[in-house]
Amino acid sequence: MSATTDTHPDTGTPQPAAPAGPTGGSRRGAGLPLRLLVVLGLVVLLAVLPLVDLSVPGVLPGATYTPGTLQLMALALVFASLALTYHVIFGVAGLLSFGHALYLAIGAYGLGVVLERTDLGLVPAMLLTLLVGAVVALVLGAVGLRVGGISFAMVTLAFAQAGSVLIRRNSDVTGGEEGLRLDTTHVPDALVGVADTRNLYWVALVLLVVVFALVTWFERSRAGHVAAATRENELRVRVLGLRPFAVKLLAFVTGSVLAVVVGMVYLLLQSGATPRIASADFTLTILVIVVLGGLGSRWGAVVGGIVYTLLDQRLTTLAASDAVESLPAVLSVPLGEPLFILGTLFILVVLFVPGGLVGLGARLAGARSRAARPGALAAGEDGP
């Protein structure tokens, strides 16, 4: 039987074709459906949690069907979605922004003001808020991307601070320091009240799935590849005749608009909004979440958002417990500050686990497979 040959793309010389074996394209092709099935199974598992009586002591405050636990889990999913939107800007395009919280605030406060001041229903109000957020992101992104590096970070910080001042000073519109309560007149009854927390949880889950799908699509698109190349070497991208500014602006607007959507769901879940979500401190929280989970990884953003939310809630409960208060002052003072513990954890991750929690999991899995490989090879040598 004659060997199959391919033609060299430059010289036209016949070349032997790569053998099609179990380690070739067939295995890679089979890996994608398997990965998709795993993701679908995870989504189904998360979807049925409100319907079962599952308790995880030390992690969740109660059974998964209780309103308090559902509220916490929904907030964790919202933060995971928010981290994904920042991943587009920082992880894919390499744009360090200190003003990402501004777009979360635009979504939350924008929807709240529209529902309170107009007679629009929930969906039209969300569309109007989304349009305003897209325009703001386009304008501010076009201005901020005229500079790069730390200068861009400072420009975004200035915009975020301006937005925070506007929210705090315009108490007639935004509620000022007291925050803005959700006007439920035009909100469906299924999304209002403690008894319907389960529905809000499912909304948060749908949000995470949609945001993850859109971020994956963008990252694998031509624009996403160019954005990643620009992050690594912008000069080389320019030499190739591409336009880094347009791609970076597209990534910035995409991440910001998705953050506006997250902000609207955040408003529904929390039944209001406070000025803190527009502060630069909140953006730093998002940055910590992304780095904690694993910078440059979509799954890292998801894991970081969920872990951070659960840690923040449980550490707050721990700080107020009698066990901590009974300790000596040298221990009770730092343990009584959740931010101190979270900050220490962040430092440890940066120093010893550069790839974040997802990178740590990949390392452990790789070490296990390497440890099992010599045994498999020995078994093969002993065989027929």
Residue 12 has pLDDT above 80, yes or no: no
Predicted pLDDT at 364: 74
Q: How confident is the model at residue 378 (pLDDT cuts 50, 70, 90)?
A: low
> pLDDT tens digit string along 207-243?
999 999 999 999 999 999 999 999 988 888 888 888 8
Q: What percentage of the chain carries pLDDT values higher than 90? A: 47
Give the residue from 264, 304, 239, 273 showing the smallest Cα distance to 90.
Answer: 304
State the Cα–Cα distance between residues 58 and 38, nearest whole angstrom: 26
| CA torsion through residues 315, 317, 320, 322, sign | negative
What pairing do the DSSP bridges indicate for beta strands 14-16 and 5-7?
Answer: antiparallel
State the Cα–Cα distance between residues 81 and 115, nearest whole angstrom: 23
Cα distances from 175 to residues 210, 266, 275, 296, in angstroms, run 31, 17, 9, 37
Cβ neighbors of 65 (< 8 A, separation 6 or more) are: 49, 50, 51, 52, 53, 198
State the Cα–Cα distance between residues 269 and 219, nearest whole angstrom: 28
> pLDDT tens digit string along 148-176?
888 999 999 999 999 999 999 988 889 88
Rg, C-alpha atoms of the chain: 24
40-44, 96-100, 140-144, 321-325: least confidently modelled range: 321-325
Residue 276 has pLDDT above 50, yes or no: yes
DSSP letter string, 79-122: HHHHHHHHIIIIIIT----S-THHHHHHHHHHHHHHHHHS---H
Which amino acid would we find at residue 261? Answer: V
When the pLDDT of each residue in the chain is averaged and rounded to a whole number, the result is: 84
Predicted pLDDT at 319: 75
Give the residue from 186, 189, 179 showing the smallest Cα distance to 118.
Answer: 186
The CA-based diameter of the chain, rounded to the nearest angstrom, is: 84
DSSP letter string, 18-55: PP--TTSHHHHHHHHHHHHHHHHHHHHHHHHGGGS---
Predicted pLDDT at 3: 45
What beta strand segments (E) does the chain contain? 5-7, 14-16, 180-181, 272-273
Are residues 100 and 251 in contact, defined by beta-carbon separation less than 8 angstroms?
no
What beta strand segments (E) does 124-198 contain? 180-181
CA 165 to chain centre: 26
Q: What is the CB neighbour count within 10 angstroms for residue 241? A: 6
**SS3 call for 181:** strand
Predicted pLDDT at 332: 75
